[in-house]
Structure 1
C-alpha cells in the first residue's frame, strides 16, 4: 500500500482505535527502551512514539515501493526511504527492531528478515506485527491489514526459524471486528479483554517477539573413506635372466 493510504487509515477513528490496541500489545512486551537504539521498518511511525522519548536513538525506515512521509511532523526528520534488502546500517547496529506493515507487504519476506538479522545486535530483539490468516481483519480491504499476505502462527514460526530467529513470546490484538460504528469502537477494549481471556483464534494481528540466533548449527558431512590396498614392490626379472633360465645345462631351446 502507498503511504498516503496508510496515513489516511490511521487518521480515521477505526485506525486510531487499532493503533491504541496494537500499542497496548507492544508495550506489554517492551515497556520501555531506555538507552536502546530502536529501528522501525515498514510503516511503524504510529507505534514508534512509545520509544522516541526514552530511547538513545529512534528511526523509521520505509521501503521504496511504499514511499516515505516526514516523521515526526514538528521535529527534525527521523524517517527515510530505503531499499528493504540493503539497509543503510552497519552490522549489529540496532538493539530493537519493530516490523509493522512489512512482512505481509514484502515480495521476499525471507530476504527482508535476513537483512534485519544482519543489522540487529547479538542481544537484540525483534517484534513483528503480522496480520492473522484466521482473523476477520484480513477478509476486508478497507484496512491495511487486509492487504498483502497474512500468516498463521505456524507459518510465522517457520519463517523466523529459516531466517535465524527464535520466537520468544506471542500476543494478539484486534479482536473487535473492523467496523467503524460507534458502538464497536466504544466496546473495543471489552472485545480485547474477552478475546485474550478466552484465547480466541480470530484476532486481527499476531504480535510476535523473537531473538537473534547468533550461533547456528552447521551440518558436518563426513567424507567417505576410500580403502586403498598397500602394494609391496616386486622384482621383475630382466630379459637376460629370462633367457638364461630357459636353457638347461649344455642344451638351449634354440638347439632343440
Structure 2
C-alpha cells in the first residue's frame, strides 16, 4: 500500500454514525466501512438496518446497531458506553442525525422548535462531549459534524433548522479549538442539494427546482455518493492538519 493510500485507510478504526442506516447517513456508513472501519450505528428506529448490515459486512467489516432516541436524558453516555462495550474503542464520531420541520413564522410551534434544536444541536453537543472523554486519553480521534447550506444562509420556513445548523458550525470551531491539542480533529461537512427521497418533492417542484439549479455551477443535484470521499477524508489521517473547518459539498451553490 502506498503512503497516500495509507493516509486514507481506516482499517482497524471504529466509527459511530448517528442516523447511519438511512438517508445520507447510510452513505457515510458505506464510505467509512469501504475504507476499512467497523461501524456502530445509532438510530431511533430499525429502518434500514438489514440493508446497511449487508453493505458493511460485504466490505468485510463489522456492523453493530443501537436503537435509541438520542435526545433522551443520558442518551449520549449510553451510546458511547455501548460502543466501547461492543468494540472496545471509538475513533470516529459522525454526528449525522437530524430533522427539519417547515412552517410559516407566525404558525411555528414551540414544540417543533425544541424538537429540532434537541436533535440537531443538543444531541450533537452531548455526544461530542462523551466522545471527547474517550478520545482525549488516547490522544487521537475524529469528530465529524453535519451542517447544511443553512449553516450559511437563511431559511424563512425552517427557523430552528437554520439556527441549529449555524450552531453546528460554531460548536465545530469551539470543539476543534479545545481538542486539537489532544490530537483530535473536529470538522464539519455542509452538504448542498442532494438527490434523496427527502428532497424529491423539491426536485419535482418545477419552479423551485429551476431556481435551485440556477444557483449550482455544477449544474445538477448531487448523488449521495458524492459526499463519500469527503467523510473518508475527514475521518482519516489525511486530514490530521485540518482543524475546525466546515467543508461545503455543494457543487458551488454558495458561490452564487
TM-score by length of 2: 0.46
User: Whose RCO is larger (CA < 8 A, sep 6+)?
Assistant: 2
TM-score by length of 1: 0.46
Point out the structure with max Rg over C-alpha. 1
Structure number with higher helix proportion: 2
